[in-house]
Amino acid sequence: MRQAPNATGPARQAPIPAPRRMRLETVSSGIVREPHRILIYGVGGVGKSTFLAEAPKPIFIDTQDGTSRLSVARFPRPTCWQDVLDAIEELTVGQHSFSTLAMDLLDDLEALIWAHICKRDGQDNIEGYGYGKGYKVALDEWRGLLARLERLRREKGMTIGFVAHSSIRPFKNPEGEDYDRYGLQIHEQAAGLLRGWCDTVLFARHETVLKTDPKKKRTRGISTGTRVIQTVETAAYYAKNRDNLPDTLSLEWQVFADAIEAGQPAPTEAILGELGDLVSRVSDAERAKAEKAIADATDAGDVARLTRILNTLRGRVQPSDESSTDDNNTQQENAQ
């Protein structure tokens, strides 16, 4: 006969819930300076690997010996996808002084991923999964890679750099006719994932100038010998930057690093000084609105918002305002 449970026994305690992270006490504000996530792509031999070799204390995962003529630290050339993951894990848990991980080359990393999943899943090739399905399976490996790199970036404070070749591909334009543009030489789904994860996407190229021969009615592209990186997207190529970089920079790491520093918001005192001058030159209605916005941003310590307000006011206060004032002062002085 089953015995009744002991009424006097210890009561079962409810599990203690884990503390919530998303609380008002954990809210932060202001600019956060973190290690960069950079992707640089372009034609072969333009200097992409050299660019990352100039970054602070780099170490390379080099898939095709592209750094053999560069004096840099590198892991052994990976022969399988697990080699790549092992190298990242070694950097994450090991003690070292490296500051930048350069993964050179994305084209080959994609090939290692495809070989890995096909062997694991018993497929002859990436198309064996069925129409378009293999590329989606590969995306899971790319996502796993980015998760590992994000952990490395946060735990070790390392900058992450990717190198890729470019190729000319058709671009489906939702606003009009389609056209060709430069893109990454990997599958577009993987390219989109990587572009979204990176803070900066740079298109490296040889600078060219156009010369027209009126007699032959032909235009030729002539290289200037200068190698540059493009930081802003155009119809010809994809690019991206979150650091207010100039459209074109010399293909040199120090030039790039200096431009990042120059693109940061100015000290608050300087911003407030210029804002005060600009506010005094707008209409009464705009002045009241601007002053409230400036006060709110100042109280919050939001330099980025103050910078946006500054740029807006710069656009509304025409440069001619100053010249007109100077002309009036000059005329008054001459009249006296």
| Residue with the larger pLDDT of the pair 9 and 13 | 13
Reply yes or no on whether the pLDDT at 282 is more than 70: yes
289 domain residue, yes or no:
yes
Q: Could you tell me the residue range of the domain that residue 117 belongs to?
A: 37-203+229-263
Residue-level pLDDT at 263: 76
Strands (E), 92-146: 100-104
Q: Do 240 and 128 share a domain, yes or no? A: yes
Other Cβ atoms within 10 Å of 315 Cβ, number: 8
Q: Chain centroid to CA 256: how far?
A: 13
Distance CA 195, CA 193 (A): 6
Per-residue pLDDT reduced to its tens digit, 94-126 = 999 999 999 999 999 999 999 999 999 999 999
167 domain residue, yes or no:
yes
41 domain residue, yes or no:
yes
Per-residue pLDDT reduced to its tens digit, 19-75 = 888 988 888 877 778 999 999 999 989 999 999 999 999 999 999 888 999 999 999
Strands (E), the chain: 37-42, 58-62, 73-74, 100-104, 159-171, 179-184, 200-213, 218-230, 248-250
Q: Do 284 and 237 share a domain, yes or no? A: no
pLDDT band at 316 (very low <50, low <70, confident <90, very high): confident
Residue-level pLDDT at 333: 41
Q: Do 57 and 111 share a domain, yes or no? A: yes
6 domain residue, yes or no:
no
Q: Do 151 and 240 share a domain, yes or no? A: yes
Q: What CATH number should be reported for the domain holding residue 156? A: 3.40.50
Beta-bridge mates of residue 212? 219
Q: Do 145 and 186 share a domain, yes or no? A: yes
What rounded mean pLDDT belongs to the chain? Answer: 86
Cβ contact 205:46 at 8 Å: yes
Q: Do 109 and 252 share a domain, yes or no? A: yes
Reply yes or no on whether the pLDDT at 192 is more than 80: yes
Reply yes or no on whether the pLDDT at 171 is more than 70: yes
101 domain residue, yes or no:
yes
Q: Do 252 and 298 share a domain, yes or no? A: no
Contacts of 67 (CB under 8 A, 6+ apart): 49, 53, 60, 74, 104
Q: Do 75 and 128 share a domain, yes or no? A: yes
324 domain residue, yes or no:
no
Q: Do 88 and 177 share a domain, yes or no? A: yes
Q: Do 54 and 151 share a domain, yes or no? A: yes
Q: Which two tokens stand for residue 69?
A: 């003529």
Q: Do 71 and 46 share a domain, yes or no? A: yes
Q: Please tell me the total count of domains within the chain.
A: 2
User: What mean pLDDT comes out for the span 235-263?
Assistant: 90
20 domain residue, yes or no:
no
- Enter the pTM of the model: 0.73
Distance CA 204, CA 109 (A): 20
Q: Do 179 and 314 share a domain, yes or no? A: no
User: What mean pLDDT comes out for the span 180-199?
Assistant: 96
Reply yes or no on whether the pLDDT at 298 is more than 60: yes
18 domain residue, yes or no:
no
Query: With left for phi above 0 and alpha for psi between -120 and 50, is residue 160 left, alpha or beta?
Result: beta
